[in-house]
């Protein structure tokens, strides 16, 4: 993403970021299974705009510390992507960011069900 941003426009770099997240979530080497894309999205977001990356990570950290749910933090932080880009009037990065957000939310569907049913484990256990 950094190389794409350095040699091409932000629009192209945002498509490369989307490709990185999709490659992580739907790896051909793992029969189109993979991770949930949050760490990849964070890295891509930092590469696209360091301010947005700080906001993404700060949101994630704040939600984890206040709620104790990593999945909720990941979903909430991913919502920052399209909002950030639309506020700065970047259309193609907005579309890429929105797509990344939808992928992250889709990959967290089982976590969302557990959150609704109050069965999602917290990162910090009470003693």
Cα-atom radius of gyration of the chain, to the nearest Å?
15
How far apart are the C-alpha atoms of 21 and 27, rounded to whole Å? 10
Q: In the chain, what are the domain boundaries?
A: 2-116
Distances (CA, A) of 49 to 34, 38, 92, 93: 25, 16, 14, 11
Residue 98 CB coordination number (10 Å): 18
Digitized pLDDT (tens) for each residue of the chain, 127 residues in all = 999 999 998 889 999 999 999 999 999 998 888 889 899 999 998 998 888 889 999 999 999 999 999 999 999 999 988 898 888 878 888 899 899 999 999 999 999 999 999 999 898 876 5
pLDDT, position 59: 95
pLDDT, position 126: 66
Q: At what angle do helices 80-87 and 91-107 cross, to 10 degrees?
A: 170
**Cβ contact 78:100 at 8 Å:** yes
């Amino acid at each position: 993403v950094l190389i794409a941003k350095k040699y091409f426009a932000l629009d192209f770099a945002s498509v490369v970021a989307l490709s990185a997240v999709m490659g992580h979530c739907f790896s051909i080497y793992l029969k189109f299974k993979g991770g949930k894309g949050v760490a990849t999205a964070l890295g891509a977001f930092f590469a696209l705009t360091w301010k947005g990356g700080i906001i993404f990570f700060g949101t994630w950290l704040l939600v984890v510390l206040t709620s104790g749910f990593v999945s909720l933090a990941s979903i909430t932080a991913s919502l920052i992507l399209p909002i950030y880009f639309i506020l700065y009037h970047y259309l193609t990065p907005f579309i890429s960011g929105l797509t990344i957000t939808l992928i992250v939310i889709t990959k967290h569907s089982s976590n969302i069900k557990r959150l609704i049913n109050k069965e999602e484990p917290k990162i910090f256990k009470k003693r």
